[in-house]
Amino acid sequence: MDMKVPICDECLDGDDVLCEGCQKEMEEKNISEIAVKVSRFLYSLRGQIPSLNDVEVKKIEQATDAIIVVTAAGDGPRVVGKNGEVVKQLAQEFESSIRVVEDSGKSEDVIKNLLEPVEVESINTVYKPEGTERKVVVSKDNERRVPISTDDFKKIVEDLTGEKFSLSFE
């Protein structure tokens, strides 16, 4: 199996120009400029780090405080790399902290991975006149340790799960 990333193989080898299909995906905001750059960088590391050959990166998003790399279930450790070598190189190249999140298909797992090392106290359903909302509760004591902003959290979780969640500190 080859490395799978948000852009096609042709665009991985390219320098600046994207093919018509990937350009359209970018215009429709399905992929971002950072997704293209990180995909190409990961692709360039395959020679040094053979475990990257068999990974699937589903999505790459720029959050306020980090770049979020979403992998298929089981591929997270290979994208992190032995002793964090891949993440360290990504962080250095893009001058940003890097969060690797496995997409297990379960909203709760994605949320826990995204907020790590902070522990999720509960995930509740709140019933309001305008409809239901899901609320993720984290201890107020851990508010400063949450690795991404609440706005980024909402956006990324919705992008990954298709569900709306709010983040609350109690």
148: domain CATH number? 3.30.300.20
In the structure encoding, which two tokens stand for residue 131, read together?
A: 């409809």
Residue 85: its pLDDT value, please?
A: 94
Among 91, 115, 102, 109, residue whose Cα is nearest residue 169: 115
Q: Taking all residues of the chain, what is their mean pLDDT, rounded to a whole number?
A: 89
Section 152-156 average pLDDT? 88
In the structure encoding, which two tokens stand for residue 140, read together?
A: 């107020």
- 16 pLDDT band (50/70/90 cuts)? confident
Section 33-46 average pLDDT? 92
Q: Are residues 98 and 108 in the same domain?
A: no
Could you tell me the residue range of the domain that residue 155 belongs to?
Answer: 104-170
pLDDT at 98 over 80: yes
Q: Are residues 70 and 48 in the same domain?
A: yes
pTM: 0.85
Among 112, 92, 93, 94, residue whose Cα is nearest residue 102: 112
Residue 168, C-beta contacts closer than 8 angstroms, at least 6 positions apart: 135, 136, 137, 138
Residue 1: its pLDDT value, please?
A: 56
Among 109, 42, 107, residue whose Cα is nearest residue 69: 42
Q: Are residues 49 and 92 in the same domain?
A: yes
Q: Are residues 89 and 135 in the same domain?
A: no
Distances (CA, A) of 3 to 31, 58, 77: 17, 11, 14
